Structure 1
C-alpha cells in the first residue's frame, strides 16, 4: 500500500463514520444466515439474488463515473460471476428490485467512490464467506461460489489499490464528506434491500 494510505487518517475516519450502518447491515438475519454452520441452499440463493440487484445497479450507474479514476475498473465487474453462480446452481432469476433510490441525477465522483468503497469492502469480506460456503455447502468458484471468490488470491491487492485511489482523490479534492455520504447511503440502501420481502 502506498505511503499516502499509511499516512492519511481518512481511511480510519471513513471506517468509523460508516460503522453504525455497516454493523446494522451485518446484523440483519440474511447477513447472519450466510455464515451459519447450517446455512441452507435457500438462504444462500436469497443472498445471491439480492446481491445481484446491488452489483448490477452499481455497475450500471456508478462504474461509468469512475473509469477515469480506476484503471482496473473493468476487472472489478462481478455481475457475470453472480450469473455464473445462478447457472451452476440451476437458478433462474425472474425478478429484480431497485436498490439505489432517490439518487441525485448528477452523482459526484466522490460520492461514487464512497459507494464503491462499500462494494469493494464486501468483496474483501467475501473471501471469508467463500471459505465458509466451500466448507458448509461444498461450492467453489466453478460450482456456485464464483461471486464470493472475488479476485481470488489478488483480492487483498485489489482492495489496497482501490484504497490508494480513494485516499489520493480525497486528498487532492478535499471531498471527505461526500465520500462518507456515498458510503453511508450505500450501506443504508443495501440494508433496506435486504429487509424487503423475499422474492424467492
Structure 2
C-alpha cells in the first residue's frame, strides 16, 4: 500500500465495488459455459471452447486495455495471459484462435479501463479453484494443458493484492469510484454477452 492510502477508505471502496458488481458477476457465472468447467463431466471440447472464449477476452485486454493503463499499473507485462491459452490449445491440438471483439474499446478512460481489468484480474482467483476440477479430467491430469488456469501459481494472492493496491491508490487520487464500478459492470456484462452469443464449433 502506498504511504498516502487510507486503509479504511480503500476497504470501503473495494467493498462497494464488489457489492455493486455482484449481480453482473453472478449472471456471468450462471451461464452453462461458465458452470461446465466446474463439472466432473466436463469434456475436452467444452474446455477448449471456454479457453477460446477467454482468449478473446485476454486478447482484447492486452491489445487495447493495457496501453491505456501503462502509466497506472506497473507490472502489466507480468499479467499477460493470452500466450498461456495459446499453449494450452496447442497441447490439446486445437488451432490457434482468431480473436473476436469483446469490448468496445474506443474512447475509454483510465478509470473505466481499470474497472475492466479488475474483472479480468479477479478471474485469476477463480481460476485456481477451477484448476482443481480441471486436473481431475482425463487428458488434463498430468499438469499439461492447464497453463492458463495455473496462472500466477502460488503468487496468485500477492498479484491480486498488488493490483488492488494500485487500483485503490488511483481511485483515491482521482476520486473516480463510480467510473471504475461502471467499467467493471460493463466488463461482466460484455463477457456474459460474448459467452452467450459465441457458439461452440469444433477444431
TM-score, with normalisation over the residues of structure 2?
Answer: 0.91
Cα shift readout 1:118-156 (whole Å, capped 9, x = no counterpart): 000001110111121112345269510100011110010
Mapped contact 1:110–1:182 kept (Cα < 8 A):
yes
Match of 1:199 in 2: 201
SS where residue 128 of structure 2 aligns? helix
Uncovered stretches (5+) of structure 1, i.e. residues with no partner: none
Match of 1:153 in 2: 154
- Whole-angstrom distance in 2 between the partners of 1:76 and 1:141: 25
- Whole-angstrom distance in 2 between the partners of 1:162 and 1:94: 28
SS where residue 66 of structure 1 aligns? coil
Mapped contact 2:68–2:113 kept (Cα < 8 A):
yes
1:79 to 82, 94, 97: 82
- Whole-angstrom distance in 2 between the partners of 1:38 and 1:143: 19
Q: Does the alignment pair 1:123 with 2:124? A: yes
- Whole-angstrom distance in 2 between the partners of 1:125 and 1:52: 16
- Whole-angstrom distance in 1 between the partners of 2:63 and 2:6: 28
- Whole-angstrom distance in 2 between the partners of 1:53 and 1:168: 29
TM-score, with normalisation over the residues of structure 1?
Answer: 0.93
Match of 2:49 in 1: 46
- Whole-angstrom distance in 2 between the partners of 1:58 and 1:175: 21
- Whole-angstrom distance in 2 between the partners of 1:5 and 1:150: 30
Q: Aligned-pair distance for 1:78?
A: 0.4
- Whole-angstrom distance in 2 between the partners of 1:70 and 1:128: 26
- Count residues with an aligned counterpart: 198
- Whole-angstrom distance in 2 between the partners of 1:27 and 1:5: 35
Match of 1:28 in 2: 31
Q: Does the alignment pair 1:10 with 2:13? A: yes
